[in-house]
Copies of this chain bind each other. A is one copy, B any other.
Amino acid sequence: MNKRADGRAVDELRKVTIERGWSEQAEGSALISFGRTKVLCTASFTPGVPRWLTGQGKGWLTAEYAMLPRATNERSQRESVKGKLGGRTHEISRLIGRSLRAAVDMEALGENTIVLDCDVLQADGGTRTAAITGAFVALVDAVDWARTNKHISRKAEVITDTISAISVGVVDGTPMLDLPYEEDVRADTDMNVVMTGSGKFVEVQGTAEGEPFSTEELMVLLQLATKGNADLARMQAEVLAN
């Protein structure tokens, strides 16, 4: 019973590609695509931490999300030109940072800083989940770079688990995995779920855009998300194995 415009099953991801090391400048990077959504993720490693954290033996990881003005179907004004960040940008940047911090042992990282930049080059729904999933790959490479360059010790277990994220939603009454833009705008409930490779939840953000939802609907959505994140974790592992 296949009811989606692009022919996918309800629990099927769009085509996912991850180009590891796309950037020659950053310590870690990945160009990730979920269907037509493309996000360039870079991880910048710098020795030292912000002043307020100095001397505690812990590292720091933060993230910034942004969209090119013509990533979307209609051009939007640049936030740099407007002179301020929009609420959506702020919110997603904070989500990416929190999500990846959940997989990092800050004491093992030591007094070093990692900044993840996730820039959406083309947007078709699911940009924040693609960003988190791609940023994890960039993060792993930046930590490897730091180990190779002796900024962190050979034995430090900095990365404690893998992290990926996927969207799920109820569209026309049917729960579905990985919504492109056209499904997303029609969804009654829209949920972004960040999980570890070990199958636990890091973030669950569900919103009733239309009808409020019940515990049962929530359960079905979480099962779909669990399936999708397991698929993503497998792809991350393959990419990182090369």
Contacts and interface: CB of A to CB of B under 8 A. Distances in A.
Interface of A: 23-26, 29, 36, 40, 42, 44, 46, 64, 66, 68-73, 75, 78-91, 93-94, 98, 102, 115, 117, 119, 121-123, 161, 191, 195-196, 198, 200-208, 211-215, 218-219, 222
Contacts of A213: 200-201
Given A46-B75, A87-B91, 11 more contacts: A26-B70, A26-B75, A75-B115, A80-B80, A80-B85, A83-B84, A86-B90, A90-B91, A191-B204, A201-B213, A202-B208
A206 to B, nearest CB: 4
B205 A204 contact: yes
Contacts of A66: 78, 80
Given A25-B72, A71-B25, A80-B85, A98 B202 contact: no
A31 to B, nearest CB: 9
A201 B214 contact: yes
Interface-central residue, A68, A86, A191, A213, by most chain B CB under 10 Å = A68
A26 to B, nearest CB: 5
A238 to B, nearest CB: 23
Give how many copies assemble into the complex.
6
Contacts of A206: 201, 203-205
A201 B196 contact: no
A75 B44 contact: yes
A42 to B, nearest CB: 4
A207 to B, nearest CB: 5
Nearest to A206: B204
A203 B196 contact: no
Interface-central residue, A102, A204, A222, by most chain B CB under 10 Å = A204
A201 B212 contact: yes
B68 A117 contact: yes
A64 B90 contact: no
